[in-house]
Chains A and B, each alone.
Chain A
Amino acid sequence: MAGTDYVESLNHFIVDYVLGWYEQGTILIVRASVPKGDENFPASTPRMPVADWYEREVKETLGLNPVGHPNPRKLLTSDDWPEDLFPMRKSFKNETPPPIKADAKFPFVAPENAGSFNVVPYGPYHFAIHEPIYFRFHVDGERITGVDLRAGFNYRGLEKIAETRMSYETVPFVAERICGICGSVHGEAYSQALEGAAGFEAPERAKWIRTIMLEIERIHSHLLWLGVATHMVGFDSGLMQFWRVRERIMFLAELLTGNRKQYGMIVPGGVRRDIREDKKEKALREVAEILGEYQELLDAALGLSTLQSRLKGVGYLSKGDAEKYSVMGPVARASGVDIDARRDYPYEAYPHFEFETPVQTGGDVLARTVVRAYDTLESIKIVKQALESLPDGPVHIPIDYIPPDMTSVGLVEGPRGTDVHYLITGGEDTVYRWRVRAPTYANLPATPLMLMGQTLADASVVIGSVDPCISCTERMMVVDDRTGEERIISGRGLVEGPA
C-alpha cells in the first residue's frame, strides 16, 4: 500500500492498495482518491490486520488519516518529529531541518494488571539483534506475556531523495543501499518496476546474469543467517563453519562483479558487467566445490540433537496467523504457507530452471532453519544451471522512452520474502513516487505473536528467526531520539550530552 501526493496537479492525494494472490499469480491495485482539505479515508486494518503498518505510515508521512484505525501511533518518524509535518508530501523540501519537539514521548501500551508484571526493555541497541529496534516485553517471571514494538530508528528518507534529486539511472544505486544484505533484490525490483512502466524487456543474457546475482545473494544471506542463528543459541562451531562456506560465496560475487557486496550490477535495461567465458568456468568450479562443502556441513550440523531440541517448539506461528498477517518468504514457508514469488510471479530466467520450494509445517524456529537450509541448496543448484545455460547476446540495452504517470509494481523473491517496489513515473527523468515494501515490513508485525508465552531467554532467537532487516524496513533519517524505559533523550540531548 502506498499513498501519493497529487495536490499540485490534481488537488487530491491517492492511496493505492496493492493486493497479490500467489495461487493465481495476479496483482490487483485498488486506488482511492483522498481530496485535499478533507484528508480522511476509512481504515481497512480492522478487517485486514496486514494493513496496520501501511496505514500508519500513510498517516505520518502524508497526513492522510485512516478513520477507525485501532492503533494510530507513530511508526517511522522519531518521537520529536512534529506531528503536522509530512515528509512525503511534495510541498516538504528535503533540505529543511524540522523543528524539534523536545518533550515528545512515545505512547507505549501499558501492561494489563501493572502491579504484578515487569517491563523489560529490549533494544534499540541490543547485542543480539544487530540493528536498532525497540521491543518492550511485559514479563511474568520468565514468561513473556505482552509485547510492544517501536520501530523507526533507521528512517533515512531514501524515497524522498530518489524523488527529489536522483534520476532513473542513479536510483538503483540508492535502492541497493537500502539493505546491506539483499541489495540486488532492491535493485532488481526497482528495475523490474521501471522496465514494466516502459514496456521494456531486458535482453536474455542480462536476465540470466540477474538471476545468478539474485541467487548468489540468497545463498550468502541464508548462510549469514544460519551462522548468526547458531551463534545465538550458543553453537559457535556452527557460526564458524557456515561462515567459512559463506566466504567462498562472497569471493564468487567479488569475482563476477568486482565487489563483495552492493554489486552495482542490476540497472534498468540490463546488467552492467558481463560474465566472461574464463570467469564462467572458474565460477562453475567454485559452485561445485561450494555445493560439496555445504552438503557435508548441513549433514553434520542440522542433525545435531542439541540444536534440534533447542529450536523445536520455540517461536511458534500458526498457519492461520501467518496467512492473516501475510508474512513472507521463509517465515511463511516454515508455517506451511506455500508461497514463492520466483515460481508464482515468474520473472527473469526462473521459468527456465528446475528448483523446488522447501515448505515445512512446524511453524517454529527449527522449521525456519530447515527451510532456509534447503532453500540455500536449491539456490546453489539454480546458480549452477544458470551458469551452464548462459545464452549469448548483449547484456544491456538502453531504454529509449519512459512514459510519465505510469504506475508499476516490481516483485522479487528476496532471501527474507517478497520485496515489492511500487513506482509512479514522472516527467524529466525522475520518479514521481517510489515506495519500497521490504519483506521484513511484512514479517515484523507478526513477531509479537511468536514471542507471546516464550521465555525471555528465547526472545533473541525468535526475533532472529524472522531474519529481520531493519534498515530495509525503514528505508529512510538519522536516529534522533532514544527511547529509554522512562526517559527520552532528544537528538539535541544526544549531541550535547546528558543534562
Chain B
Amino acid sequence: MSSILKLLRVGIKRGRVTLRYPAEKTPTPEGLRGRPVLDFDTCIGCGACAKMCPPNALTVEEKENVWTLRLFYGRCIMCGLCEEVCPVDAYRFSEEFELASATREDLEVELQLLRVKCRGCGKYFTTKRLLDDTVAEYSELAGGYAGEFKEMIYLCPDCRRMDWSETLADAYREARYES
C-alpha cells in the first residue's frame, strides 16, 4: 500500500482528538500542580515559603504590628517548594491552571497577620500565631518549666539572649559565693 494511503488510514482510524475547549474541560490528572492556594486560617506566618521561593513570587513585609505575605501568581512557577517547606501544610496545589487575567490585581493574594511586641524591649518581632503555635506544640516538652517557657517565648531573640546570659551570669556568681 502506498504511504499516502497508509497515512490516510491512520487519520481515519484515530479520528478527531481535539476538544471543544474552553466549552469542554481539559482532563487533568490527579496530583497536578496548578495554582497554589494558601489557607489563611492555617498559616502561622513563619515566612519559610518566602525564603525558599525561587522566583520571589512570595514576599514578606514586616511593618510595625502587621506582618504581610504577598503571593503574586504572575511570578509563580508552580514548583511546589512552598508546599514542601510549610511546617503547617497551609499550601495546597489546586487543579486550576487557567490563570490568564487582564489585570495584575487579579493575580495577587495578600495575607496580613498581627505581630506581637517583645515583653522586654517593646519592639515588634514576630507574629502572634507563630508564638501561639509554638506554645501549643512545645509547652508539654518544657515539663515543670512550662511557666518559664511561656515567659521566655514572648521575648525577642535579642532580649532572649540577654535574659539567658544574665541568668547564666547569676548562676555562676551564686556558685562562686557558695564555694
**Could you list which residues of chain A lie within 8 angstroms of chain B, going by C-beta atoms?**
166, 169-170, 173-174, 177, 237, 241, 244, 247, 251, 254-255, 257-259, 262, 264, 272-273, 293, 296-297, 299-301, 303-305
Contacts and interface: CB of A to CB of B under 8 A. Distances in A.
Given A255-B31, A258-B31, A258-B80, 8 more contacts: A170-B54, A173-B79, A241-B10, A241-B14, A272-B80, A299-B6, A300-B3, A300-B6
A300 B80 CA distance: 42
Contacts, number: 65
Contacts of A300: 3, 6-7, 9-10
A373 B77 CA distance: 32
A293 B15 CA distance: 13
Contacts of B33: 257-259, 264
Nearest to A282: B29
17 contacts: A173-B54, A173-B55, A173-B79, A241-B10, A254-B29, A255-B31, A258-B33, A262-B77, A262-B78, A262-B79, A264-B77, A264-B80, A296-B10, A299-B6, A303-B6, A304-B4, A304-B7
Q: Is the interface of A mostly helix, strand, loop or mixed?
A: helix
Looking at B3, B28, B52, which has the most chain A CB atoms within 10 Å of its CB? Answer: B3
Contact of A241 (B4, B7, B28, B55): B7
Q: What is the size category of the interface that chain B forms with chain A? A: 20 to 34
A174 B11 CA distance: 40
Contacts of B78: 259, 262, 264
Nearest to A241: B10
Contact of A251 (B10, B14, B29, B54): B29
Contact of B77 (A173, A272, A305): A173
A244 B3 contact: no
Interface of B: 3-4, 6-7, 9-11, 14, 17, 28-29, 31-33, 52, 54-55, 77-81, 84, 93
Contacts of B29: 251, 254-255, 258
B3 A237 contact: no
Nearest to B17: A244
Contacts of B79: 173, 262, 264
Nearest to B14: A244
B71 to A, nearest CB: 17
Contacts of A170: 52, 54, 81
Contacts of A247: 17
Which among B9, B28, B29 has the greatest number of chain A C-beta atoms within 10 A?
B29
A312 to B, nearest CB: 15
A166 B7 contact: no
Nearest to B93: A258
A183 to B, nearest CB: 11
B32 A258 contact: yes
A298 B63 CA distance: 63
A305 B52 CA distance: 55
Contacts of B32: 254, 258-259
A310 to B, nearest CB: 13
Nearest to B55: A173
B80 to A, nearest CB: 6
Contacts of B17: 244, 247
Given A237-B11, A304-B7, A177 B77 contact: yes
